[in-house]
Structure 1
Amino acid sequence: MVTSAAQGRVAHSEADYIARAETLAPSFAARAAEHDRTGSFPFENFRELSEACLLSLTVPAALGGPGAGARYAARVLGIIGKADPSTALVLSMHYINHLVMARSLTWPVRLSRKLARETVEGLALINALRVEPELGSPARGGLPATIARRTETGWRLTGHKIYSTGSPILKWYLVWARTDETEPRVGNFWCRRACRARASSRPGITTACAPAAATTSSSMMS
């Protein structure tokens, strides 16, 4: 359940979503060239998207969000993409994950509600960590090298991922991994990003995560 303050921030019509995106687009476009030139991340764009209730666009209405479907999300992404394609790419990954959660029978309800609430109430994005140096994209098949070991406090993940779109601003990762069991199970482990990251000489992402609390694969339910 979301707070009354959060409910007040939610847009209530498709026309409003489009209008809010069109209002933000000029400032995104004005900053895009500088971000491209310097390789900097457009953090300010996502703060403005959050304030405009556009980060929660595809969060179901029952969980406090606008409840927009893929069609209206695509219209918003088209407006943002014309202004700053990089911002639209990160936003699209976030939207897709919430659309999948809303329709999935395997996502734990408690986690779905938690992620929805945090997205409605603040600046919180989610995306997957899947691609590995040796295996490449999981679309080609194979077992991930990232290992999940069950502990007293949850799952402990050990592995090396190359990238995740939007990683500088993500609050949650869906980490693709396999268990260390005799017959490994494969699933996506929900991992909340901690506030610290450490430098690494190896290419890829090196970050500190809280213990993985649950999984989202039908074959990997906690």
Structure 2
Amino acid sequence: MNLLEQFISNARQQALVELAYKLGEKAKQRVNVAEKTAKLPMETVVDFKEAEYLSLTLPTVYGGKALSLYEFLLVQEQLAVGDGATALSIGWHLGIIKELSEENIWDDTTFEWFAKEVASKQLLVNRIATEPATGSPTRGGIPETKAVKQGEHYIINGRKTFATMADVLDYYLVTAYAEDKETVGTFLIAKESSGITVEQTWDTLSMRGTGSNDVIFSNVDVPEAQLVELSTQRKKPAAKGWLLHIPACYLGIALAARNDAIAFAKNFQPNSLSTPISEVAHIQQKIGDMDLKLLQAHHFMYSVANQWDHYPEKRANLGPDLAAVKTVITNLANEVVDLAMRIVGGRGLSKTYQFEQYYRDVRAGLHNPPMDDMVIQILAKRAIN
């Protein structure tokens, strides 16, 4: 049984999921290359551009599909069934485009120009905010990257870490401390700008295909007009629904592991048995446990997404629920992959199968924001208040 199918309710959703499936299958064929090079393959990026996938979350007036949060999560999960690293990477881009489209963060002229560029050229963009000294920006550290005003330009110097898709992005959204404004600003900077170097530092166990290398800015000259956000001006909504692309990705990895484990169990028959191991009681127990966890995860995530889409007046109060979705799904996803590995046994550690990659990649979800400790504190404060 395909667990995702029961959450598809109309022809538009079906078409979107089918597109994500096709692109996920193409990405899956390049997993070995991505693992060895620790980069998102450029061929995969080209596939997404040719399919006009990078404009899905843009408003229809700019040629996008204006995906709802529910639809965004459907395609994100399906894409991750093919390859989790690709899904997480592209999810950041689509989520940022959705955020910019819906929250009016930029002035209208700048956003209109950028939206048209994304649609016509299928540009790929990501925020790069994490730094060695500050850690995750969700913890509130002030960036050490500095933007110094010189006439009508800014000169930017600093280093960013965990810059997902660093090598293949068209634009970076870079946070820096703007000294003249005495606050943190975000600059829209073309990757090909002079003074930008991508350092190949991505040597992690998990999500190697995201290519989350360091980016170094050395006297990068940026026109003042490319200062697109100031933290003092930006509205701070209580909730960011688009960040559910993170748990949707790890749910997709867990679903892929579940599917592969069941296929293995139905086809593996040791000579000590007269049937495949799928008929063995303790194997069926593990399969049932996987599906129980996945049903819990799916219903929780898509229920919250439905609330976000259909009751916009409630969004300001959905922050704790969104955070809880991330924590619950990423932990359940790890449990599902662990069960899949136990079904397959020692063969799951072999590079012949993909289980060991699922096992490595799904761990990364525990380290994506928001962290479990922060989520528990948020829930506790809501309960007390």
Q: TM-score range with shorter-chain normalisation?
A: 0.7 to 0.9
Whether 1:41 and 2:54 are equivalent positions in the alignment is no
Distance 1:152 1:72 in 2: 45
Higher helix share: 2
Name the structure 2 match of 1:205: 215
CA contact (8 A) 1:42 1:87 kept: no
Letter matched to residue 205 of structure 1? V
Name the structure 1 match of 2:153: 154
- Shift of the 173–138 alpha-carbon distance from structure 1 to 2, 3 Å rule, reads same
CA contact (8 A) 2:56 2:66 kept: yes
Deviation at 1:104, TM superposition (A): 1.9
Distance 2:172 2:199 in 1: 19
Distance 1:193 1:24 in 2: 25
Distance 1:114 1:164 in 2: 24
Deviates more, 1:25-34 or 1:81-90: 25-34
Q: Deviations over 1:16-44 (max 9, x none)?
A: 32222222232222221332134343211
Letter matched to residue 141 of structure 1? G
Name the structure 1 match of 2:206: none
Whether 1:188 and 2:170 are equivalent positions in the alignment is no
Name the structure 1 match of 2:173: 174
Deviation at 1:59, TM superposition (A): 0.8
Give the greater-gyration-radius structure (CA): 2
Q: 1:80-159, aligned counterparts within 5 Å?
A: 80-159=79-158
| Overall identity of the aligned pairs, in % | 23
TM-score by length of 2: 0.49
Letter matched to residue 94 of structure 2? Y
Q: Deviations over 1:36-73 (max 9, x none)?
A: 13434321112111111211110111222111122111
CA contact (8 A) 1:171 1:193 kept: yes
Deviation at 1:13, TM superposition (A): 4.1
Whether 1:217 and 2:235 are equivalent positions in the alignment is no
Deviates more, 1:87-96 or 1:110-119: 110-119
Distance 2:126 2:29 in 1: 26
Query: What secondary structure is seen at the aligned counterpart in 1 of 2:174?
Result: strand
Distance 2:200 2:49 in 1: 34
Question: How many residues are paired up?
Answer: 209
Distance 1:201 1:86 in 2: 17
CA contact (8 A) 1:119 1:125 kept: yes
Deviation at 1:201, TM superposition (A): 9.8
- Could you tell me which runs of 5 or more consecutive residues in structure 2 were left unpaired when the two chains were aligned: 1-10, 202-212, 235-385
- Shift of the 13–210 alpha-carbon distance from structure 1 to 2, 3 Å rule, reads farther
Distance 2:22 2:198 in 1: 38
Letter matched to residue 204 of structure 1? D
Distance 1:135 1:75 in 2: 33
Letter matched to residue 193 of structure 1? K
TM-score by length of 1: 0.82
Name the structure 1 match of 2:6: none
Deviation at 1:177, TM superposition (A): 1.3
- Shift of the 25–163 alpha-carbon distance from structure 1 to 2, 3 Å rule, reads closer
Deviation at 1:143, TM superposition (A): 1.8
Backbone CA RMSD of aligned residues: 2.7
- Shift of the 14–153 alpha-carbon distance from structure 1 to 2, 3 Å rule, reads farther
Distance 2:105 2:193 in 1: 28
Deviation at 1:97, TM superposition (A): 0.6
